[in-house]
A = this chain, B = another copy of it.
Amino acid sequence: MADGPFREQIKRLVERLEGGVAAVMMGFDGITLDSYVQPREAAATAQHGAGALPDILTMAMEFAHLIAQARRTLQSLDAGTLEEFTLRTDTITLAVRVLTPEYFLACAVLPEGSLGKARYLMRVAAPALRVEL
C-alpha cells in the first residue's frame, strides 16, 4: 500500500507505544485509509506464519462492523455518542477511537503494553488526524 497522508502520524503512534504492533485508519465500511505495522511484528508473522499474531487489518475490518452495531445500540438506548472502544484478549489488546461518524483509528498492542497509554496517545493524535479526513 502506498503511503497515505496519515502514515507518519500513525507510525509515530505505534513506535511510541511499548508493545505497539500496528495501527490502522479505517472507515466503518471496513475500507482502510492507511495502516502501519511494526517491522519486527511483520517479520515475526512472516517467520512463524499466520497465528503468530492476528492480522490487525482483518481484525479491524471485523470489528468495524461490530462497532457500527454498538453505535446503533447506544443510540437506541440514548446512551450517548461512542468515542472509544477497547478489547483485550490473552494475546492482543485492541483500542479504537472514533474520529468522525465515518472513520476510526484502531491500534493493536501486545498484552504487556499499556492500554492506558494507547488510549492517551490516540486521544492526543485524534485532532490532527481528523483535520485530514
Contacts and interface: CB of A to CB of B under 8 A. Distances in A.
Interface of A: 50-51, 54-55, 58-59, 62-63, 66, 69-70, 73-74, 77-92, 115-116, 119
A85 B59 CA distance: 15
Contact of A88 (B54, B77, B83, B87): B83
Contacts of A66: 66, 69-70, 73
Give 3 nearest A-B pairs by CB, closest first.
Answer: A80-B89, A80-B91, A54-B79
15 contacts: A50-B78, A54-B77, A54-B78, A54-B80, A55-B77, A58-B77, A59-B79, A66-B69, A66-B73, A74-B87, A79-B91, A80-B89, A80-B90, A85-B88, A116-B116
Contacts of A77: 54-55, 58-59, 62
Nearest to A75: B89
Interface centre among A59, A79, A86 (most CB of B within 10 A): A79
A32 B12 CA distance: 43
Given A66-B73, A70-B63, A116-B116, A87 B82 contact: yes
A115 B95 CA distance: 13
A130 to B, nearest CB: 16
B63 A79 contact: no
Nearest to A91: B80
